Every structure is written in structure tokens, then in C-alpha cells.
Amino acid sequence: MSGETEFIFGLRPVIEAIKEGKQIERLLIRQGLQGQLYHELMKEVREHSIPYQIVPVEKIEQHTRKNHQGVLAFMSLIEYQDISNILPAIFEKGEDPLILCLDGITDVRNFGAIVRSAECFGAHAVLIPERGSARITADAVKTSAGALNSFPVCRTRSLTKTIQFLKESGLKVLCADEKSNKRVFNATLTGPLVLVMGSEDRGISRELSALADETVRIPLKGKTGSLNVSVAAGVILYEITRQRASSDGNLKNF
């Protein structure tokens, strides 16, 4: 498959890869798999919070028909980071954190383009859920213009709990919502901030929307009802950076 990540297969190889701390993007496990090695695998999967799916064997055999033993793991092209480790370092440098949270962004090219904009406009990290997010494939890295090779991507089991942690750490939660009454250019976007972007079809989940300190929209003049999510993220990130540069007196250099 074009743009797919490298994979390994077989119960023992996958177990050893997890134990060695190798980054696994996602894990496919055949329905009905049993046995001692299966239970050992699941123990490691739970201890290391590895995203996995229980699938028909045909799903695995779309990728390989070798002796996979009902297990196939896609290896990550990047090393995921922990947001709780990144945040203190940002504050220690005297900077206001700018974290971009992506809720339900599954298109790899949109994801790559968003990370590219985040890096260009000075964001500190991108936060994604373990499930329901775009995979970090070669296509995603290419679309990010290489930004994914160095830009921090943090993966969490629960976006809701992590956003709550960020709120408690002093970050304002800003949600992009095309139904909002406030234009993004009229909002105050300085200070510690986490920007939440949702998918184009479903938007931001109710759980995350409930944590918003403020919602904003991008005003549109054309007949088209909405922007592509990667474009919308770039517009809002630009406005955040512009306001921060203005408040710091660095607008001439921006």
C-alpha cells in the first residue's frame, strides 16, 4: 500500500518489539486468537498502551500472507512524546505554550499539512488520540515537508482527560467551531493556549466542546460553506502568532 508504514508480524517478534520499546503505530490482532503467547502479547499491549484492533484474518492478509500467526504491527515513523514531559520545559523557557489538539483528523495528508503549519507558526506540539486519528505514514511525513521528523507529536488514550490536564496547567482551551458567534480575529489569543480542531464531517466531540473556554470561527465571504481543516488550522495558527508578536512588540519582525 502506498504511503503505509513498515510492519512486522508474528506473536514473538511483536512481543519482543514492544518489550524493546519500539514505537508501534497500530496493531492488528486476528479475531478469536488464543493461547499463552496471545495472553503475553495482550499483557504487553496494555502495559505499554499500544493501540490495537481485533480484525478478521483477511484484514491482516491484505498486508502479508506469510506466517503472521494472527498478529501484525505497523511500526511508527516517529517517536511519540508525552505532553506532561513537554509542558514544563516550555514554561521553563519562559514561553507561553501553544498546543494543537486534533480530534478525529483521519486523513494523512490533512494531518501532515496541519503539522507543517503548526511548526511554521511556532506551536510547541500536536496532540492526537490513540484511536481515531491519522496514522503517521510516509505520505503524512511528505505532506508535512519533513516537519514530522522533528516536531513533537503526543498521543494520548483520552483527549478529554489530557485537555483537562492542560486546563489545570493554566492553558486556555480554544475550540474552532464554524457555528460560533465570535470571529477568530476578535478573540484574545495570547497566553498559554490549546487549540482544538475537529474533523470536517463531525466537528469536535461534545466532551471536548464542553471543556472549551472559548469557541471561534473563521469568517467566510464565498459561497463555499467551509474550509478544509488543514487550511482552517493554518489561518487560526497565523492569527495566534500575529497576536502574540503584536503583544510582545515584535510585529515588525513577523
Domain shared by 25 and 135, yes or no: no
> Alpha-carbon Rg of the chain, whole angstroms?
20
**pLDDT above 80: residue 161:** yes
Residue 114 sits in the same domain as residue 231? yes
Asked if residue 1 is part of any domain, the answer here is: no
pLDDT value of position 139: 86
Do 107 and 57 share a domain, yes or no? no
My answer on whether 66 and 104 are in the same domain is: no
State percent of the chain over pLDDT 90.
73
**pTM for this prediction:** 0.83
| Per-residue model confidence (pLDDT) at position 132 | 85
How many distinct structural domains can be found in the chain? 2
Q: Are residues 151 and 228 in the same domain?
A: yes
Closest CA to 154 of 245, 76, 83: 83
121: CB partners within 8 A, 6+ apart? 234, 237, 238, 240, 241
Question: 142-158: per-residue pLDDT in tens?
Answer: 999 989 989 999 999 89
User: For residue 83, which amino acid is it?
Assistant: I
Return the closest-CA partner of residue 234 out of 136, 123, 87, 78.
Answer: 123
| pLDDT of residue 125 exceeding 90 | yes
Residue 51: is its pLDDT beyond 90?
Answer: no
- Work out the pLDDT band at 77, boundaries 50, 70, 90: confident
* 216: containing domain: 83-253
Average pLDDT over residues 130-140: 85
154 with 88, same domain: the answer is: yes
Do residues 121 and 93 share a domain?
yes
In a domain, 228, yes or no: yes
Same domain, 168 and 235: yes
Together in a domain, 147 and 71: no
Tens of pLDDT, residues 174-226: 999 998 999 999 999 999 999 999 988 888 999 999 999 999 999 998 888 78
**49, 75, 101 — which closes off a domain?**
75
Domain-ending residue, one of 75, 91, 116 = 75
Res 1: pLDDT:
40
Shared domain check, 96 and 39: no
State mean pLDDT over 80-96: 94
The answer to whether position 2 is within a domain reads no
Decide if 177 contacts 209 (C-beta within 8 A).
yes
Please name the residue that has the C-alpha cell 519562559: 94
Q: Please tell me the distance from the alpha carbon of residue 180 to that of residue 127, in angstroms, as a whole number.
A: 23
Supply 209's cell numbers.
Answer: 466542546
CATH number at residue 245: 3.40.1280.10
